Amino acid sequence: MPSFKIRVTAPSRLHFGMFSFGHPGSRQFGGVGLMLKRPGLELLATAAEKWEASGPLAERALEFARRWSEAQAEPTSPARIEILSAPGEHVGLGTGTQLGLAVAAALRAIAAPDDPTALDWSKLPDDELARLAQRIGRGRRSAIGLNGFARGGLLMESGKAHADDVSPVVAREVVPDAWRFVLVRPQHPAGLSGEAERGAFERLPPVPPEVTVSLCRMAMLDLLPALRARDFGKFSQSLHQFGLEAGRCFAPVQGGVFASPQLASLVDEIRGLGIVGVGQSSWGPTLFALVESQAQGVELVQGLAARHAQDELEFVISPADNQGARIVRVG
């Protein structure tokens, strides 16, 4: 039994919005998202006599481990998984996907210590990445988290052509190291997931084709070129406008562009401070605000915390993650 451990440090994910859904026979979902260094997720795994897990989300980690084991052609040796840190689930940060992929990466690295791709998923071809995600039941709608785990950065995916596909990524951009995303999360019900999320998509009206065209145009002609040019102002404005347009598609379920009036009020307040690139990640309740530096991020957090001393807001300041997960053999 191998005695070494595998340490996996995975980023968190922001999802800015989807291009389309509700049109069987054409591409579904797609959209744009970005990986963050914080809050992130970290775990340690080592071979063991039986399956064990400890720490936050331990039961969920064991569930992913069992799925991974059952999907292998050969029996998989058990492992002990220790979750050192993890964000909450269903708060708009893609925690489930990052946890599942981190577990899969650790078990793969234990089982195949001589495979160079076991410690560097950026070298994996897209079809192999898709197969790995399917083995643990991820990538059913968005593939931003999957590709972000492997490579980091800002990612645009085209959407699924067929129900069993994993959406291909059609663009990836590196985000400037100095920029910061300030995450703001009030004490608020978790975003939709599982059966509730599936039911929501069934109830939502299809995205009008002209809206899909508009979203794709904004992503291709505004958002990505502004980022490539390092034009902070244009990128911030494009990011906010993309989120508004995408959010309107979910208004019949979440009651508006944002998941609650409280979140909408916070967005307006932050924009009133002169910060343009503000939006909601996925179903929320996490909001993000883009600033040009760590110092501006600290200033924003201090100001919001002072004004909302009774509201129990949670804050994280993070740069983008342009690398993806770090998978390291220890010992």
| CATH architecture of the domain covering 5-174+321-330 | 2-Layer Sandwich (3.30)
Tell me the average pLDDT across 37-48.
97
- Per DSSP, the three-state class of 55 is coil
CA atoms within a 13 Å half-sphere pointing along the CA-CB vector of 25 = 2
What pTM was estimated for this model as a whole?
0.94
- Asked if residues 142 and 165 have their Cβ atoms less than 8 Å apart, the reply is no
Regarding the domain with residue range 180-318, which homologous superfamily does it belong to in the CATH classification? GHMP kinase, C-terminal domain (3.30.70.890)
Tell me the average pLDDT across 214-218.
97
- Asked if residues 5 and 79 have their Cβ atoms less than 8 Å apart, the reply is no
Best CA proximity match to 282, nearest among 141, 87, 126, 102:
141
Do 5-174+321-330 and 180-318 come out as alike in CATH topology? no
pLDDT at 93: 97
**Quick one: DSSP state of residue 117?**
G
Peptide bond into 225 cis (omega under 30): no
Q: Taking the domains of the chain in order of start, what are their residue ranges? A: 5-174+321-330, 180-318
Q: Which amino acid makes up residue 106?
A: A
Q: How far apart are CA 120 and CA 122, in angstroms?
A: 5
- Asked if residues 159 and 108 have their Cβ atoms less than 8 Å apart, the reply is no
Q: What pLDDT digit, counting tens, does each position of 175-211 carry?
A: 999 999 999 999 877 777 778 888 888 899 999 999 9
End-to-end Cα distance, the chain: 14
